Amino acid sequence: METTLAQLSITEAAKKLKAKEITSLDLARACLIEIQKRNTSLNAYLEVFADAEAQAKAADARRAQDEKEKKESHPLLGIPLAIKDNILIEGRIASAASKMLEHYVASYDATVIKKLKAAGVVFLGRTNMDEFAMGGSTENSAFGPTRNPLDEGRVPGGSSGGSAAAVAGHLALGALGTDTGGSIREPASFCGLVGLKPTYGAVSRFGAIAMGSSLDQIGPLTKSVEDAEIIFNTLRGIDPLDSTTIGEGEYAARPRRKRVGVPRHLLKEGVDADVLAQFDLVLTKLQTQGYELVDVELPSAGLALAVYYIIMPAESSTNLARYDSIRYGLSLKGKDLTEDYAKSRAAGFGPEVRRRIILGTYVLSAGYYDAYYGKAGLARQKLTDEVTRALETVDAIVVPTAPCPATKIGEKSDPLSMYLMDIFTVTANLTGNPALSVPMGTVTREGKTLPVGIQLTAAHGDEAALFELGKKIQNLG
Positions annotated as catalytic residues are 84, 159, 183
What is the number of the residue whose Cβ is closest to ligand GLN?
183
Contact between 88 and ligand GLN per CB under 6 A: no
Q: Do residues 459 and 257 lie in contact, with contact meaning Cβ atoms separated by under 8 Å?
A: no
Q: Indicate the residue type of 65.
A: Q
| Residue 64, number of CB atoms within 10 A of its CB | 13
Q: What gap in Å lies between CA 10 and CA 170, rounded to an integer?
A: 12
Closest distance to ligand GLN from the beta carbon of 318 (Å): 15
Q: Do residues 56 and 122 lie in contact, with contact meaning Cβ atoms separated by under 8 Å?
A: yes
Among 180-188, 295-303, 365-373, 394-402, which window interacts with ligand GLN (CB under 6 A)? 180-188
Q: What gap in Å lies between CA 78 and CA 56, rounded to an integer?
A: 6
Write the interaction track for ligand GLN spanning residues 411-430; mark x where CB under 6 A is met and - where it is not. -----------x--------
Q: What gap in Å lies between CA 140 and CA 413, rounded to an integer?
A: 10
| Residue 338, number of CB atoms within 10 A of its CB | 9
Among 53-61, 178-186, 241-249, 290-298, which window interacts with ligand GLN (CB under 6 A)? 178-186
Q: What gap in Å lies between CA 200 and CA 209, rounded to an integer?
A: 16
Q: Indicate the residue type of 59.
A: A
Among 38-46, 127-135, 390-398, 460-468, which window interacts with ligand GLN (CB under 6 A)? 127-135
Closest distance to ligand GLN from the beta carbon of 241 (Å): 21
Q: Would you say 172 or 312 has its CB closer to ligand GLN? A: 312
Among 166-174, 176-184, 322-330, 441-449, which window interacts with ligand GLN (CB under 6 A)? 176-184
Closest distance to ligand GLN from the beta carbon of 216 (Å): 8
Q: What gap in Å lies between CA 66 and CA 327, rounded to an integer?
A: 43
Q: Do residues 256 and 291 lie in contact, with contact meaning Cβ atoms separated by under 8 Å?
A: no
Residue in 24, 138, 163, 183 binding ligand GLN, rule: CB under 6 A = 183
Q: What gap in Å lies between CA 117 and CA 278, rounded to an integer?
A: 39
Total chain residues near ligand GLN (CB under 6 A): 13
Q: Would you say 34 or 130 has its CB closer to ligand GLN? A: 130
Q: Would you say 75 or 182 has its CB closer to ligand GLN? A: 182
Q: Do residues 146 and 137 lie in contact, with contact meaning Cβ atoms separated by under 8 Å?
A: no
Q: How far is CA 258 from the centre of its chain?
A: 27
Crossing angle (nearest 10°) for helices 304-319 and 375-390: 120
Contact between 195 and ligand GLN per CB under 6 A: no
Closest distance to ligand GLN from the beta carbon of 40 (Å): 26
Nearest to 166 by CA among 6, 24, 1: 6
Closest distance to ligand GLN from the beta carbon of 182 (Å): 5
Contact between 219 and ligand GLN per CB under 6 A: no
Closest distance to ligand GLN from the beta carbon of 423 (Å): 10
Question: What part of residues 299-318 is at the interface with ligand GLN (CB under 6 A)?
Answer: 312
Closest distance to ligand GLN from the beta carbon of 416 (Å): 11
Question: What part of residues 249-308 is at the interface with ligand GLN (CB under 6 A)?
Answer: none
Q: Would you say 14 or 184 has its CB closer to ligand GLN? A: 184
DSSP letters spanning 377-410: HHHHHHHHHHHHHHTTS-SEEEEESSSSSPPBTT
- Return phi, psi of residue 195, to 5°: -140, 130
Q: Do residues 179 and 185 lie in contact, with contact meaning Cβ atoms separated by under 8 Å?
A: yes
Residue in 211, 271, 423, 440 binding ligand GLN, rule: CB under 6 A = 211
CA distances from 449 to 150, 190, 443 (A): 8, 11, 6
Question: What part of residues 128-167 is at the interface with ligand GLN (CB under 6 A)?
Answer: 133-136, 159
Residues of the shown chain interacting with ligand GLN in the complex, contacts defined by CB under 6 A: 133-136, 159, 179-183, 211, 312, 422
